[in-house]
Structure 1
Amino acid sequence: MKAVLVALALIGASACWAQASAPAPSAHQHHVETVDDRVKELHAELKITPAEEEQWAKVADVMRNNAKTIDGLLEQRHDNARKQTAVENLQSWNDIAQAHAEGSKALLDAFSALYADMPASQKQLADAAFRPEQAHAK
Structure 2
Amino acid sequence: MKPVLVALALLGASTCWAQASAPAASAHQAHTETVDDRVNELHAELKITPAEEEKWAKVADVMRNNAKTVDDLIQQRHDNAHTQTAVENLQSWNEIAQANADGSKAMLDAFSALYADMPDAQKKVADAAFRPAQAHMK
Same fold (TM over 0.5): yes
What residue number does 1:130 align with? 130
What residue number does 1:60 align with? 60
> Residues 1-138 of structure 1: matches in 2 within 5 Å?
2-3=2-3, 5-9=6-10, 11=11, 14-20=15-21, 22-138=22-138
CA distance in 1: counterparts of 2:96 and 2:7, whole angstroms: 18
Does the 8 A contact of 2:7 with 2:35 survive in 1?
no
- 1:74-130 superposed Cα distances (whole Å, 9 cap, x missing partner): 000011111111111110000000000000000100000000000011001111111
Does the 8 A contact of 1:48 with 1:56 survive in 2?
yes
- Consecutive unaligned residues of structure 2, counting only runs of 5 or more, are none
Q: TM-score, normalised by structure 1?
A: 0.92
Does the 8 A contact of 1:12 with 1:35 survive in 2?
no
The code of the aligned residue for 1:28 comes to H
Does the 8 A contact of 1:19 with 1:78 survive in 2?
yes
Q: Displacement of 1:137 after TM fit? A: 1.7
Q: Displacement of 1:12 after TM fit? A: 6.7
Does the 8 A contact of 2:28 with 2:71 survive in 1?
yes
User: SS in structure 1 opposite 2:88?
Assistant: helix
CA distance in 2: counterparts of 1:18 and 1:33, whole angstroms: 14
Q: Displacement of 1:36 after TM fit? A: 0.3
CA distance in 2: counterparts of 1:79 and 1:70, whole angstroms: 14
The percent identity for this pair of structures is 74
User: SS in structure 1 opposite 2:82?
Assistant: helix
CA distance in 2: counterparts of 1:18 and 1:80, whole angstroms: 15
RMSD value over aligned CA atoms? 1.6
- Consecutive unaligned residues of structure 1, counting only runs of 5 or more, are none
CA distance in 2: counterparts of 1:110 and 1:16, whole angstroms: 26
